[in-house]
Structure 1
Amino acid sequence: MRVTSVLMTALLVGGAALASQAQTTLGDDTLHAPAPALPGPNADPHIAAFGDTYYLYPTTDGIEGWGAKSFSAWSSKDLKTWKNEGVILDLPRDLTWANRNAWAPAMATKNGKYYFYYTAAQCVGVAVADSPTGPFKDPIGKPLVAKDVYRGQAIDPMVFVDDDGSAYLYWGQGQCHVVKLNADMTSYDPATVVEFKPEGYNEGPFVLKRQGKYYLMWSEYDTRDPRYSVAYAISSSPMGPWVKAGGPPVLHGRGPVKGAGHHSVVQVPGTDQWFIAYHRFIIPGGDGFNRETCVSPMRFDAAGNILPVNVFEKVKATKIRKTAAKRRS
C-alpha cells in the first residue's frame, strides 16, 4: 500500500511537472511573461526583414518627456538574439530642422534604397541610406509632414509598399492620414491626402497585405494607459475605405503584461508566418514612460481574421530561408 502511494505521488508530481512544462511551452504561464526582445527601455518598435536578417527600429524610452534625440537599429538572424547596430540617425547632428523628440520610426525599401520615416519635434521626417543600418541622411532638409498642417499630431509614420511598387504614407495621432508617395519616396501631392478616423483609433497606424486584403492596424487608448491595445480594419485598397473587425483586440495586456501596443508586423519571407513587435510597460514597475520591446507570433484564421496574440507565448528561433532572402535582395 505504501509503495502504491509513493508511486501514485510520484506520478502525480511528475504529471504536474509535465503539465506545467507543457503550459509554459504553449505560452500559458500567465504569471511569468517572456523576457523582452531588446534590453532596456525601448518603445514603438518597427520590425522588418531585409535579405536574411530581421531588423528592429525602436524609440529609445525612459527619457523625461519622451525626449530621445537619436534612433538606433537592432539586427537578428533568428528573432531571438538581437545585435545593437548603433545610432543610425542623430537629430542634432543630422537634421537642421529638429533636435528633439525622436519617436516612432518606420522603415521601407524601394529601388535598392532604404527609407527611414520618423517623428521629430512632432513632425514626420524621412532619411535615406544604402543599407538598413545607415548611415542615414536627410534628403529634403525639412519635415515630410510639418506640424499643425493636418488635424491631429503629425507623428507615428508608416510606409507600405504594395506589390506594384506604389508606396503609401500613413501617420497621425488622434486622426489618421494616408497619401500615395511619389516615386522618389520623399514627396507627395498634399491635395491627395486622405483624412479618416476608424472607431477607437488613437495612433500608431500599420498596414500589411495578405491574400489580396489590406489590413490597417492601430493602437487604441493612450500609451500611458494599461488598457493600451491594438485593433484593425480591412479594405480592398491601401487608401480605404476601412471596415473595422469585430471581436476582441488583436493585442492587449493580461496579468503582469500592461499597456501592450504601438506595434508593427513582419512576414517571414517565403512563408505565411507572421510576428508582431510591440511595447509593454517594463516588467516590473514600468509605465507609459518606461516601456520595453517584445516580439510575439501572430496568426490568421481560415477566413483571414487576425487572431488575438498570446503575449505569453515565447518566440521560437525563426531564420529566413536563403531562397526567400535571395528573392528579396
Structure 2
Amino acid sequence: MYIFKMKAFSFKTLAGAALLACVTSFASAQTTDTLNAPAPVLKGLYADPNITTFGKKFYIYPTSDGTEGWMSTSFTCWSSDNLLDWKNEGVILDLPRDLTWAKERAWAPTIATKNNKYYYYYSANVNIGVAVADKPEGPFKDPIGKPLIPRGTRGGQMIDPMAFIDDDGTAYLYWGQGQCNIVKLNDDMVSCDTSKIISVKPEGYNEGPFMIKRKGIYYLMWSEYDTRDPRYSIAYATSKSPLGPFTKAVGHPVLKGKGVVKGAGHHSVVQVPGTDDWYIAYHRFAIPDGNGYNRETCVSPMRFDADGNILPVDVFEKLKPVKIKKAKK
C-alpha cells in the first residue's frame, strides 16, 4: 500500500510538472510571438512620422504614403490626448496650392515652436522648405517663397529636416540623405547662413536624422539602409555638443524589424513633459503586404539604461494610454 501511494504521488508530480512545462512554454511563445504586431496608431498609409507635444496634446506630422516614387503633394497633422487615439486635423500644407517652387514629393516634415509661432520644415521635390502658422494644426504659409535649403547645397539629397531647439533657445536644423548636415537657424527661424553648415557622416548613416537631449547628452539618431529594405533600422551617436563630434553607440540598433515587422525606421522621439518617459514614432512596411511605398506609422516606448544608453525598442510591445499632466513650457 505504501509503495502504491508513492507511485501515485510520483505520477501526479510528473503530470503536474508536464503541465507546468506546457504552460511555461506557451507563455514563452506568447512573449516571443513575432507574427502578431500591434496595430499602427494612424489609420491609413503614413510614413516618416514627426511626433511632438504642444500643450497637453501629442501631435504627429507624417508623410502621406501609398504612391510609387513617393509622389505625395500635401501634408496632414494628427493630434491625440492619450497616444492611442488620433484625430486627423486635415491638410495643413498643400504644395500645388501653397508653394510656387515645388508641386510634389512632400516628404518627412518636422516642427518647432518659437516666437509664439510654429515653424514647419519639410522636403518638397528634394529641397527643404519652411512654413509658418499660429497654431500647431495650421494652416501653414510659405514666408520666403523659395526653398530654405535648395537641392545641391551639399552632397546627397536635401531631405529629411529635423528642427531642434536647445535649452538656451538656439535652434538647429539637421537634414540629409547620404550625409547629415547641421546648421544654426537664425532667430527668425526662416533663414540660416549656409556657409556655416557642418556635414558629418557617422558609420552606417543614410537618412532621417533626429536629435534629442537628455541629462546633458546629445543623441543624434538616424536611419540605416534604404526605406525599401526590410533591414531599415535606427542607430545613434552621442556628443556633448549639438554640433558634435559624435561617437556612435556600439552593439545593437535602437530599433529594427523582426518577424512580421519589416523596414522599421525613419523615426522621431518625444519626451512626455514633466517625466523621463520617452516614446519613439516610426514607420514599418504595412502589415500585410506592405513595402517601401506602402508604410504605416507606429509608436513604441523607448527606454534608457542607468548609463544613458538607449535600450533596444520592442516593436511588439503593446502601447498603453499616456496623458500629459504638465504641459511643456
Code of the residue aligned with 2:318 in structure 1: it is K
1:23-38 matches, within 5 Å, as 28-38=32-42
Partner residue of 2:79 out of 72, 75, 82: 75
Code of the residue aligned with 1:130 in structure 2: it is D
Alignment-derived partner of residue 251 in structure 2: 247
How far is the alpha carbon of 1:76 from its aligned partner? Answer: 0.4
1:237-276 matches, within 5 Å, as 237-276=241-280
Matched residues in 1 for 2:24 and 2:50: separation? Answer: 38
Alignment-derived partner of residue 310 in structure 2: 306
Alignment-derived partner of residue 4 in structure 2: none
Contact 1:28–1:313, Cα closer than 8 Å, also in 2? no
Listed one character per residue, the Cα deviations across residues 274-296 of structure 1 (whole Å, up to 9, x for unaligned) are 00000000111101111100000
Alignment-derived partner of residue 23 in structure 2: 16
Change (3 A) 1:270 1:18: farther
Matched residues in 2 for 1:12 and 1:89: separation? Answer: 59
Alignment-derived partner of residue 122 in structure 2: 118
Code of the residue aligned with 2:261 in structure 1: it is V
Code of the residue aligned with 1:193 in structure 2: it is I
Alignment-derived partner of residue 94 in structure 1: 98
Alignment-derived partner of residue 220 in structure 1: 224
Alignment-derived partner of residue 184 in structure 1: 188
Please give the root-mean-square deviation of Cα atoms over the aligned residues, in Å. Answer: 2.1
SS of 2:255's partner is coil
Percent identical among aligned pairs is 66
SS of 2:223's partner is strand
Matched residues in 1 for 2:88 and 2:252: separation? Answer: 35
Matched residues in 2 for 1:219 and 1:160: separation? Answer: 17
1:138 maps to 2:138: no
Alignment-derived partner of residue 171 in structure 1: 175
- List alignment gaps of at least 5 residues for structure 2: 1-7
SS of 2:256's partner is coil
Matched residues in 2 for 1:245 and 1:223: separation? Answer: 21
SS of 1:16's partner is helix
SS of 1:128's partner is strand
How far is the alpha carbon of 1:31 from its aligned partner? Answer: 2.0
SS of 2:195's partner is helix
Partner residue of 1:320 out of 301, 320, 324: 324
- Give the number of equivalent residue pairs: 320
Alignment-derived partner of residue 54 in structure 2: 50
Matched residues in 2 for 1:101 and 1:110: separation? Answer: 27
How far is the alpha carbon of 1:231 from its aligned partner? Answer: 0.3
Alignment-derived partner of residue 5 in structure 2: none
How far is the alpha carbon of 1:29 from its aligned partner? Answer: 3.1
Code of the residue aligned with 2:298 in structure 1: it is C
- List alignment gaps of at least 5 residues for structure 1: none
Q: When the two structures are superposed, what TM-score results if normalisation uses the length of structure 2? A: 0.92
State the structure with more CA Rg.
2
